Amino acid sequence: MQTKIDNNTLMQLVLNNIPSFVFWKDDNSIYLGCNENFAKSAGFSSPEDVVGRSDYDMPWSQEEADFFRKVDKEVMLSGEAQINFEEQQTINDKSTRWLRTSKIPLYDDQKNVIGILGTYEDITARKTMELEIHQQNAELLILNDKLESINMDLEHLVNASSHDLQEPLRTIGSFVGLLEKKYGSEMDDKAKEYLKYIKGGSARMSKLIKQILTFSKIDKVDIVFESVNAKKFISNILRDLTHSINEQNAVVESDILDIYINCQQVRMEMVFHNLIGNALKFNNSQNPKISISLTEDDKSWLFEIKDNGIGISNKFDHNIFEPFKRLNTQATYPGSGIGLSICKRIVDMHGGEIWYESKEGEGSSFFIKLPKLIIMNEQVG
Ligand code: ADP
């Protein structure tokens, strides 16, 4: 059996079930009606309690009531709806909500504006989140500014101290030279050996200072990507390292695809020089062997530099990619501990990854993964 309900009740039923807040006012901004959501959100038990009130009789603040009436007036005078604008509504000075409101002029049969229809949704949760994100972003910007200025101070400090440190080293170098030239013939073997140590020490110090400078400047210049032939690239690096390879009696096998990769050639050369140099250096095998390979998938290129050297003990929890982290400090393995941190910075700048797998005494493999999605600036090789 069908229940008969009159149009007004049906209309109120529809309005009460809309998951939104709805109200309508006359041309003096006096409430003519609303749905239950609206009445309840304003602290009334039914829509009838709202009828006949102005915004000044509602629980919002005076300023909000002024604003609501001002917008009503604009809509009624212009005859143009205002859709989805954001406003605030405070209930009894306690909780403030954010609303996304639309106000539409109501016309009679003669096309005269007789009031407005308003709807809104409560967007407080989203707005609070937005405001928090905004606040966090502002704090991050301040932090970023501070970090940038600390970084600039550090860079100046590194620059200044590096130049200041090179100066006394040059003095040591030239006086050692003079000492050798003038008194070399009078020196016994012990004195000559001591002099050799002084020269070796200052050469290492000079190299260390240069590496610190390189490390501090590496990400200061924009990276320019080129399309580089991987096979030629690796064989050029091996040619540069011929002397060290022969000195170590090492065998280097390279299985490099004849393909083009995207990278900044000069910087990537530093990475491979360092990794292959380490593979030769940290190696006490009778037959040092290094294998270099390149594989690819849809998204990336993967290089592996594998050695049969001393390996890296897993008991070291040092991150060897951090500056000055060295696991082997014996004189047989000279170095500064900066090489791998330079490699990591360069690989990071390429949007890539660098990591190693190793077992102490059984050798190490260093991996470099470079993403393929990099805009190319030039073609080289
Ligand atoms: P450096 O070679 O100047 O010591 P790196 O930053 O290049 O500095 O390397 C950091 C440390 O990582 C090295 O001191 C060494 O202990 C370890 N390491 C790097 N490469 C290898 C390798 N191929 N085999 C064994 N140990 C390695």
Mean pLDDT of the region 70-97? 91
In this prediction, residue 330 carries a pLDDT of 62
Distance from residue 351's CA to the centre of ligand 1 (Å): 23
Taking the centre of ligand 1 as the mean of its atom positions, its distance from the CA of residue 293, in whole angstroms, is 20
Which of 212, 272, 282 should be mutated for ligand 1, with most atoms under 8 A from CB? 282
- Ligand 1: which of 320, 324, 336, 357 to mutate, judged by most atoms within 8 Å of the beta carbon? 320
Residues facing 355 on adjacent strands: 367
Return the ligand 1 atom nearest residue 311 CA: 25
Average confidence score pLDDT of the chain: 88
Q: Grade residue 167 by pLDDT with cuts at 50, 70 and 90.
A: confident
- % of residues, the chain, pLDDT over 90: 54
- Distance from residue 278's CA to the centre of ligand 1 (Å): 6
Query: In 163-192, which positions are buried (b, 16+ CB within 10 angstroms) versus exposed (e)?
Result: eeebeeeeebbeeeeeeeeeeeeeeeeeee
Q: Whose CA is nearest to atom 16 of ligand 1?
A: 327
Cα dihedral value 36, 38, 40, 43, nearest 10: -150
pLDDT band of residue 381 (cuts 50, 70, 90) is: very low
What pTM was computed for the model?
0.58
Atom of ligand 1 nearest to the CA of 329: 14
Q: Is the pLDDT of residue 340 over 60?
A: yes
pLDDT of residue 220: 66
Per-residue model confidence (pLDDT) at position 331: 62
Nearest CA to ligand 1 atom 8: 337
Retrieve residue 270's tokens. Answer: 């530093």
Model confidence at 231: pLDDT above 90 = yes
**pLDDT digits 0-9 by tens, 45-59:** 999 999 999 999 999
CB 368 within 8 A of CB 303: yes
Q: Which residues form ligand 1's pocket by a CB distance below 6 Å?
A: 274, 278-279, 282, 307, 309-312, 320, 325-328, 335-341, 364
Q: How far is the CA of 317 from the centre of ligand 1 (A)?
A: 14
pLDDT per residue over 193-222, tens digit each?
A: 999 888 888 887 888 788 777 777 777 667
Could you tell me the distance, in angstroms and rounded to a whole number, from the CA of residue 326 to the centre of ligand 1? 6
Decide if pLDDT at 129 tops 80.
Answer: yes
pLDDT of res. 94 = 74
Query: 218 C-alpha vs ligand 1 centroid, how far in Å?
Result: 20
Tell me, rounded to whole angstroms, the distance of Cα 143 from its chain centroid. 14
Read off the pLDDT of each residue in 326-355 and give the average, rounded to a whole number: 81
DSSP-assigned beta bridge partners for residue 101: 85, 120
* Closest CA relative to residue 233, chosen from 205, 252, 254: 254
pLDDT confidence of 375, banded at 50, 70, 90? low
Span from the CA of 349 to the centroid of ligand 1 (angstroms):
21
Q: How far apart are CA 212 and CA 159, in angstroms?
A: 9
Rounded CA separation 81/71 (Å)? 10
For 262-267, what is the mean pLDDT? 89
pLDDT, residue 117, reads 97
Backbone angles phi, psi at 254, to 5 degrees: -130, 125
352 backbone dihedrals φ, ψ, rounded to 5°: -105, -170
pLDDT for res 210: 81
CA distance linking residue 17 with residue 181, whole number of Å:
101
Hey, which residues does 292 pair with through a beta bridge? Answer: 254, 305
* Ligand 1 centroid from CA 141, angstroms: 36
Which mutation among 307, 326, 333, 364 tests ligand 1's pocket best, with the greatest number of atoms within 8 A of CB?
A: 326
Which carries the bigger pLDDT value, residue 282 or residue 163?
282
CB 272 within 8 A of CB 343: no
By DSSP bridging, strand 113-122 and strand 95-107 are: antiparallel
Q: Residue with the nearest Cα to atom 19 of ligand 1?
A: 278
Q: Which pLDDT score, from 0 to 100, does residue 3 have? A: 63
Give the pLDDT of residue 371.
92
Mean pLDDT of all residues in 133-161:
84
The mean pLDDT value for 320-344 works out to: 76
Question: Model confidence over 88-112: pLDDT tens digits?
Answer: 998 876 788 999 999 999 999 999 9
Mean pLDDT of 19-28: 95
Report in angstroms the alpha-carbon separations of 7 from 11, 24, 177: 6, 18, 109
In this predicted structure, what is the pLDDT of residue 329?
66
Residue owning the nearest CA to atom 2 of ligand 1: 335
Sign of CA dihedral 331, 342, 351, 135: positive
C-alpha of residue 361 to centroid of ligand 1, in Å:
14
% of the chain exceeding 70 in pLDDT: 92
Question: Buried (b) or exposed (e) across 265-288, using 16+ Cβ within 10 A?
Answer: bebbbbbbbbbbebbbbbbeeeeb
